[in-house]
Amino acid sequence: MKKKILKLITETIKAVDLEMDVGVQQSGVNMSYDFIQNRVYVDLDRVVQARLEMLSPVHLREYIMTLTLHELGHALDRDALLDAMPRMIEIAKIKKEHQFINRREDLKLFAFDIEAHEMDISFEETAWDNARELNNQYGLLSLSVIEKVETHSMSSYFDFYEKDLTDYKRLIAAERMQRKTPIMSIV
């Protein structure tokens, strides 16, 4: 099965006339694009498991091809990813310097988490748009298959973002309320 998956990835890359190295890593992420090395990685165990987590799984062949197109969509957006790298590093550094719980209690620090989510979602959406363009150009898959895999893949990004955004808005509201509450002196 693992050889079959690697073969499907390689065949999909060739089918859209791109050249890309493929690596295997146990990262817990089904497939990823390393924009620094310009390489696609696959976690062979996770990709099989992730497909089965879909509400209505598509055929393994279609799933692998769709994810490959998506990662190639990131590759087509490589310049934007490289341009965003200084900001990504800055945000990662701030997040590393401040524990998660502390970022959740400080509006300015929490804003970095929100910005990171928004950058991730923007890059993911662009990669999916690019994947659809590649598919339109080369006619590999039905649009419904791509949409199913995209919906499943994007759900985790949106779920984490929405949860954090709700918490962020609560923190904003709490800080506003605190500023409006007059301080009473004890006489």
pLDDT at 183: 52
Q: For the chain, how many structural domains are there in total?
A: 1
Write out pLDDT tens, residues 130-159.
Answer: 999 999 999 999 999 999 999 999 998 999
pTM, whole model, 2 decimals?
Answer: 0.90
Q: Is residue 183 part of a domain?
A: no
Q: Sorting pLDDT into bands at 50, 70 and 90, what band is 187?
A: very low
* Location of structure tokens 């339109």: 136
| Widest Cα–Cα separation across the chain | 80
Residue 135 resides in a domain: yes
| Predicted pLDDT at 176 | 84
32, part of any domain: yes
- With bands split at pLDDT 50, 70 and 90, how would you rate the model's confidence at 71? very high
Among 80, 62, 70, which Cα is nearest to 153's? 70
**Domain extent at residue 172:** 2-177
State yes or no: pLDDT of 184 exceeds 90.
no
User: In whole angstroms, what is the distance from residue 34 CA to residue 152 CA?
Assistant: 21
**Sheet containing 31-34, strands listed edge to edge, beginning at the edge strand earlier in sequence:** 21-24, 39-42, 31-34
User: What is the C-alpha separation between 30 and 49, in angstroms, rounded?
Assistant: 8
- 182 is a domain residue: no
